Amino acid sequence: MTRSTHAIARRLRDDVERLALPDGRAVGTAGHARAQAHLVARLAELGLEPYGDAFALPYAASGQRFANLVGVAPGLDRDAAPVLIAAHHDTVPGTPGADDNAAAVAIALEVGARLRARPAARDVLIALFDAEEPPYFHTSRMGSTYWHAHQCRGPVHAAVVLDLVGHAVPVLGLEDLLAVTGMESDPGLEDVVRALPADHGLQLVTALNRYVGDLSDHHVFRMSEVPYLFLSCGRWNHYHASTDVPDALDYPKMARIADVVEALVRGAAERELAGPWEGYDTTATDVATLNAALGPLLAHYGIEVRDRADIDRVVGLLVGQLGL
């Protein structure tokens, strides 16, 4: 681990440890309110601008109070539609939520700080959504859904959504895997992914979102035909468990993921994303990323990825291994 990676990993761990406390951040709890106050302070500390009058965008439904937290990293073209980085900040009851989803929040804050220091081509929203977990998941109370319907102040150029991005995959040979879905939502995003530096240090695999479905806050963006990418390392043995604690995470891997997120966001900010919506074939890129990331492992099992049928078979195996 280089000195730079070590410093990034330390910052990421600091944010995770501040959020992933034993009592968790379930909606309506003291931990939920404490986490929101901390994150509002962090958005201000990073020098981000409020999205509107304040960082906290409260809403209420069914007698419950929620708040989406959104900061803006100003870009070079303030009039262009912004790119959005999303990570939910709530947890299920009974879990500290280090991987789900304090790790993603920490990465979003890290990238937000970089974009504040060196602006992207357009504004970038750091959106820390509420109420992603059950019983709010895929309902009108889900933070990302509510934000898009009632709090969004204009078009979104693209969304990069993070969930379960803090752990080494507990499968031999797949530890550094990072799955990216949604590239099919716009041809320009395929260009963005292909432009990633070759030395990112991850086993980055692209795949169609239909293999796993709308498992997180990218749901509302896909339904609204906003170009999106969803990044995840999948579910693991600490998912929604009391053992989802800071010590279980892989902070050097998180540092590498932060680098990838920054590159994806900057790339998306620079490109015209004009469609067609899900109207083209990503097979060539999916084949390339699978072979680059898993070549030796695939060769060991005598598997060669050449076409969509091969991708279907390999991704099916991966989805089974990762519990997606």
Q: Do the beta carbons of residue 253 and residue 168 sit within 8 Å?
A: yes
Residue 136: per-residue pLDDT: 96
Name residue 57's beta-bridge partners: 68
pLDDT digits (tens, 9 = 90+) for 9-63: 999 999 999 999 999 999 999 999 999 999 999 999 999 999 999 999 999 988 9
User: Residues of the chain with pLDDT > 70: what percent?
Assistant: 98
Look at residue 164 and give its three-state secondary structure. coil
pLDDT at residue 322 tops 70:
no
Residue 3: per-residue pLDDT: 56
pLDDT digits (tens, 9 = 90+) for 155-196: 999 999 999 999 999 998 999 999 999 999 999 999 999 999
pLDDT digits (tens, 9 = 90+) for 213-252: 999 999 999 999 999 999 999 999 999 999 999 999 999 9
Q: Do the beta carbons of residue 102 and residue 16 sit within 8 Å?
A: yes
pTM of the model: 0.96
**DSSP assignment, residue 81?**
P
Query: Which tokens belong to 155?
Result: 């078009």
Q: What are phi and psi of 291, to 5 degrees?
A: -70, -40
Peptide bond just before 276 cis, omega within 30 deg: yes
- Give the pLDDT band of residue 2 (cuts 50, 70, 90): low
DSSP codes, 207-242: E-GGGT---STHHHHHHTT--EEEEE----TTTTST
Residue 324: per-residue pLDDT: 57
Residue 207: per-residue pLDDT: 94
Residue 316: per-residue pLDDT: 83
How many angstroms separate the Cα of 182 from the Cα of each of 159, 197, 201, 270? 10, 19, 21, 18
Residue 1: per-residue pLDDT: 47
pLDDT at residue 128 tops 80:
yes
User: Which CATH code for domain 3-280?
Assistant: 3.40.630.10
pLDDT digits (tens, 9 = 90+) for 258-299: 999 999 999 999 999 999 999 889 999 999 999 999 988 888
Angle between helices 283-300 and 187-194 (to 10 degrees): 40
Look at residue 206 and give its three-state secondary structure. strand
Q: Do the beta carbons of residue 116 and residue 46 sit within 8 Å?
A: yes
pLDDT at residue 206 tops 80:
yes
Within 13 Å, how many C-alpha atoms sit on residue 115's CB side?
A: 36
**Per-domain residue ranges of the chain:** 3-280
* Dist CA 90 CA 97 (whole Å): 8
DSSP codes, 90-132: ---TT---IIIIIHHHHHHHHHHHHHHHS--SB-EEEEEES--
